[in-house]
Amino acid sequence: MHSITVTVNGQAYTKEVEARLLLVHFIRDVLALTGTHIGCDTSNCGACTILINGRSVKSCTQFAVQADGKEITTVEGMAGEALHPIQEGFKEEHGLQCGFCTPGMIMRASDLLSKNPNPSEEEIRWAISGNLCRCTGYNNIVKAIKYAASKMTEEVVES
């Protein structure tokens, strides 16, 4: 067993884990943060996407021990007092149906917008190409991310 300390959504956790424990299971089963989902075995679907030190990562393809000392953000850590603009975008633009891929999509969008605050439709489509959605046909996910981009840009301008 290995002792690891991980900061998740701003809170530090110290836990004993088996080396083979996948990070996604650590988040879901050990920390009981079930917003991060599992949709495949082969890192194709992106349902398990989280942020590690601000970068989107598929948490099914990481061991929990690798996250020792890292800062993790999951979908549960996105909203503050109000919804995060990306979350708001998904609701406003009907960017979700069953909701299963949504947390991964939101986390992926967060990484994208941190690097490219004003992405084109084409850039958004490529940026979410590692996140599968079976319900929406992606049209409204693209719109949701655009909504978030313009809202976040406005916020930056205002502040």
Partner 1 sequence: MIPGSFDYSAPSSLEEAISLLQQHGDDAKILSGGHSLIPMMKLRLASPAHVIDINRIPDLDYIKEEDGVLRIGALVREADLEESELIRSKYPIIYEATKLIADPSVRNVATLAGNLAHGDAANDHPAVMLALGAELVATGPNGSRTIAIGDFFQGFFTTALEVNEILTEIRIPSPAANSSGTYLKLERKVGDYATAGIALQLALGPQAVCESAGIGLTNVGDMPIKAIAAEQSLVGKTLNDEHMKHAAELASDASDPMPDLRGSAEYKKNMVRVLTYRALKQVVEKILS
Partner 2 sequence: MSENYIKTPKEICGLGHRMKRKEDARFIQGKGRYIDDIVLPGTLYMDIVRSPYAYAKILSINSEKALAIPGVLAVITGKDLEAYNLHWMPTLMSDTQMVLPTDTVMYQAQEVAAVIATDKYIAADAVLAVDVEYEPMKPVIDPHKALDADAPVLRSDKEGKTDNHIWHWEAGDRTATDTAFANAEVVVKEQIYTPRIHVVSIETCGCVADFDKVEGKLTLYMTTQAPHAIRTVLALVAGHVGLSEEKIRVISPDIGGGFGGKVPVYPGYVIATAASVLIGKPVKWIEDRMENLQADSFARDYHMTCELAATKEGKIQALRIKTLADHGYTDAAANPSKFPAGMFSICTGSYDYDTAFTEMDAVYTNKPPGGVAYRCSFRVTEAVHAIERMVDRLAQEIGKDPAQLRFENFINKDQFPYQSALGWEYDSGDYHQALEKAMEIISYDELRKEQAEKRANGELMGIGISSFTEIVGAGPSKHFDILGIKMFDSAEIRVHPTGKAIARFGTKSQGQGHETTYAQIIAQELGIPAEHIQVEEGDTDTAPYGLGTYASRSTPTAGAAAVIAARKLRDKAKKIAAHLLEVSEEDLEWEPGKFSVKGAPDKAKTIQEIVFAAYTNHPQGMEAGFEAVHYYDPPNLTFPFGSYICVVDIDKGTGQVKVRRFIAVDDCGTIINPMVVEGQIHGGLTQGLAPALYEELIYDEDGNILNGSLMDYLVPTAVESPSWETAHTVTPSPHHPIGAKGVGESPTVGAPPAIANAVVDALSHLGVTHIDIPITATKVWEILREKGVAE
Binding site for partner 1 (CB under 8 A): 2, 18-20, 22, 41-44, 46, 49, 55-58, 60-63, 65-66, 68, 108, 111-112, 115, 126-127, 129-131
Q: How far is CA 123 from CA 53, 59, 104, 112, 139, in A?
A: 22, 23, 17, 9, 13
134 part of the interface to partner 2, by CB under 8 A: yes
Q: How far is the CB of 82 from partner 1 (least distance, A)?
A: 26
HSE toward the beta carbon, residue 76, CA cutoff 13 A: 15
Among 65, 111, 140, 147, the residue binding partner 2 under the rule CB under 8 A is 140
| Torsional sign, CA 137, 143, 145, 146 | positive
7 part of the interface to partner 2, by CB under 8 A: no
Q: How far is the CB of 42 from partner 1 (least distance, A)?
A: 6
54-93 residues in contact with partner 2 (CB under 8 A) are 74-76, 78-79, 83, 87, 90-92
Residue with smaller CB distance to partner 1, 91 or 115:
115
d(CA 155, CA 82): 14
The 8-class DSSP code of residue 83 comes to -
